[in-house]
Amino acid sequence: MTRPWSPREKASDDGSRERSMVPRAQFRSYYGRPVLKPPVWKDYVAYYFFLGGLSAGSSLLAAGADQRGQPALRKGTRIAALGSIGLGSYYLIRDLGRPERFHHMLRVAKPTSPMSVGTWILTAYVPGIGIAAVSELLPRRLRATPLGRLVSALARPAGLASAALAPAVASYTAVLLSQTAVPAWHESHEELPFIFTASAAASAGGLGMMVAPPEQAAPARRFAAYGAIVELAASRRLETRLGLVGEPFLTGEAHRYLQRASTLTVAGVVGSMLLGRRSRVAAVASGAALLAGGLYERLGLLHAGTASTKDPKYVVEPQRQRIEERSAVQRQRQRELVQRIPPDPGRDEIDEGRGHRDH
């Protein structure tokens, strides 16, 4: 039962103009079953995320090394960029189940779909890094041929073109996750792009330290340090900002993966700064730690999203919170409207006359 609302009365909890006479219903799912279906993605997708980011970061390092005249770093990162994107594509197709599904995604271009946009970004990215890597792998006797000279001439512009697309390659997967209905991914849309791109930089920096001698690996060490700092800061903000929805990042298997990622990333950066400048062995060990940290980061994010779909509270409570926030805004607007309503002298005289008559 409800009664009419007057302008000077408080609105109900949901912002409506009627005051509810019954208590708010408490949500309970059907026999505790999940509200959302868990993602069907396997760990292959995490491998793809990691390898795609590694390729993107490596192509950026290769372009910089080409401009600065550091051949060892340029060669190693170009080859690694092509190899990692090729291996990542294998894991993507492995998760899709049928290779032709990737081909089918090229039949349409849908700007509103992160997956469609990402497919076309990869299609534009691969040829450039492919030409740059092939130029490093050409045998000496083929470099003097017309085809070899053409590939060598195209290597630098092709490498720069792939480097221009590298940020999109590293970050589109974060947009892909945040646009799903999975609570842990959707609510962390502010941090995921920073985590993915920074982790790609840290991993690529670690790889650069492994493939180049210490005297040429200074850009890789700086790249890894900057990426690790941003990654750790964004991950910390994600775990503290989300509140209830952040629980999957702090519990279970996802938390173990993320803890390993943080530990290995810190160890890799500290080792590279303290010992990697003088010791090739320390540089390789630090680079391997950064690579492992990047992989564990992706695995932790993937498993946290899956865990957040298994408990209905992670789906319903954020929705209820958003409704309450909108209701609070509506109530504030209604109070401001009431305060702007001028007093009605005629209505006051009528009320006063009714009071005398009743007396």
Report if residue 244 sits inside a domain: yes
pLDDT of residue 349: 54
Q: What is the Cα–Cα distance from 288 to 320, expressed in whole angstroms?
A: 44
Q: What is the Cα–Cα distance from 169 to 277, expressed in whole angstroms?
A: 30
Token digits of residue 108: 């349409």
Amino acid at 282: A
- Point out the residues of the chain with pLDDT beneath 70: 1-35, 98-110, 316, 318-319, 321-322, 342-359
Token digits of residue 308: 């957040």
Token digits of residue 32: 């505790």
CATH assignment of the domain containing 181: 1.20.1630.10
Q: What is the Cα–Cα distance from 42 to 31, expressed in whole angstroms?
A: 27
pTM above 0.85, yes or no: no
DSSP-derived 3-state class of residue 95? helix
Report if residue 20 sits inside a domain: no
Number of folded domains that form the chain:
1
Report if residue 30 sits inside a domain: no
Q: Which residues of 279-299 are buried (b: 16+ CB within 10 A; e: fewer)?
A: eeebbebbbbbbbbbbbbbbb
Query: What 8-state DSSP symbol labels residue 69?
Result: T
Q: Domain span at residue 296? A: 43-314
Report if residue 355 sits inside a domain: no
Determine if residue 252 is left, alpha or beta; phi over 0 gives left, psi from -120 to 50 gives alpha, anything else beta: left
Amino acid at 322: R
Q: What is the Cα–Cα distance from 303 to 209, expressed in whole angstroms?
A: 29
CA dihedral 73, 158, 86, 167 (to 10 degrees): 80
DSSP-derived 3-state class of residue 89? helix
Distances (CA, A) of 169 to 48, 77, 130, 184: 11, 16, 15, 22
Note whether 12 and 331 are within 8 A (CB). Answer: no
Those residues whose C-beta lies under 8 Å from the C-beta of residue 284, and which sit 6 or more positions away, are 209, 210
pLDDT of residue 116: 76
Q: DSSP 3-state helix, strand, coil percentages of the chain (rounded to 5)? A: 75, 0, 25
pLDDT of residue 85: 93
Report if residue 343 sits inside a domain: no
| C-beta neighbour count of 118 within 10 angstroms | 19
Q: What is the Cα–Cα distance from 248 to 184, expressed in whole angstroms?
A: 7
Main-chain phi, psi angles of 278, to 5 degrees: -115, -25
Report if residue 132 sits inside a domain: yes
